[in-house]
Structure 1
């Protein structure tokens, strides 16, 4: 819950560019994509899980309101008007930050709440930049107001 509150607080306090409509789009897109992915990797194939291997209420915030503010911060700070090199570095450093957070979430309780089955940090390192790129494409084609 600390991470949920902190991420949402930072995302909304630092937001300078996203409108309420854009934020709603980001939340719905992120929750839909995460729940779809988690349905299989987490619940069906036990690649990873939050708190326990069972479906439980304690994991609901992690499944629904943990990542949308992170995506909100990513898009709010993304250097759209900079060179491709700067944008690539931005995604690279965000991937490193996401991986560091995942390592913290893997710590024993009370800090950690995330557990690996067959999933590994390598899977996340490969997939995180792809997911950020999908988010950017969605934002550019469906959310961004020119």
Structure 2
């Protein structure tokens, strides 16, 4: 459990102290999108007995620690440091780096027991993370387009 507490403290300290490159509303909308998406994915994962947190089919305070302690901060870090003006190669390497880190972190979480795998393995995660993080970045882009459109012709 100490890994979970340590992660929450470190991720959140970094997220709070990092130089912010985006507007607060972009972080907020991204965090909500990440929480919404993770909740849907996690419900299906539990339904089909793929993976889950702590004990199967139970929602408890420890699970909320993962949801609200790690996901928002990690989402902020991913979208803040993304090389928006970088080359396609740099952007791809960035997503690959986060995917490798996340896969390692998931392996660690399984080892210490706050995540369990049943009909799931790390290769599925390694393949899924780039798409999930890509969706997160597409959400930022979508939010910016909506904001820009509203500035041009606001709807009352």
> Which runs of 5 or more residues in structure 1 are unaligned?
none
| 1:8–1:69 CA contact under 8 A, matched in 2 | yes
State TM-score, norm by structure 1.
0.88
**Higher Rg of the two aligned structures:** 2
Q: Which has the higher contact order (CA 8 A, sep 6+)?
A: 2
Between Structure 1 and Structure 2, the one with more helix by share is 2
Q: Does 1:31 align with 2:32?
A: no
Aligned length in residues = 142
Q: Does 1:19 align with 2:19?
A: no
Deviation track 1:75-120 (CA, whole Å, cap 9, x = no partner) reads 1111111111111111111111111111111113xxx411101011
Deviation track 1:46-96 (CA, whole Å, cap 9, x = no partner) reads 211111113131212223442121111011111111111111111111111
Runs of at least 4 residues off by over 3 Å: 143-146
Q: Does 1:48 align with 2:84?
A: no
Per the alignment, residue 131 of structure 1 pairs with: 132
Distance 2:74 2:67 in 1: 13
The 5-angstrom pairing of residues 91-102 of structure 1 reads: 91-102=95-106
Shift of 1:11: 1.2
Distance 1:124 1:15 in 2: 29
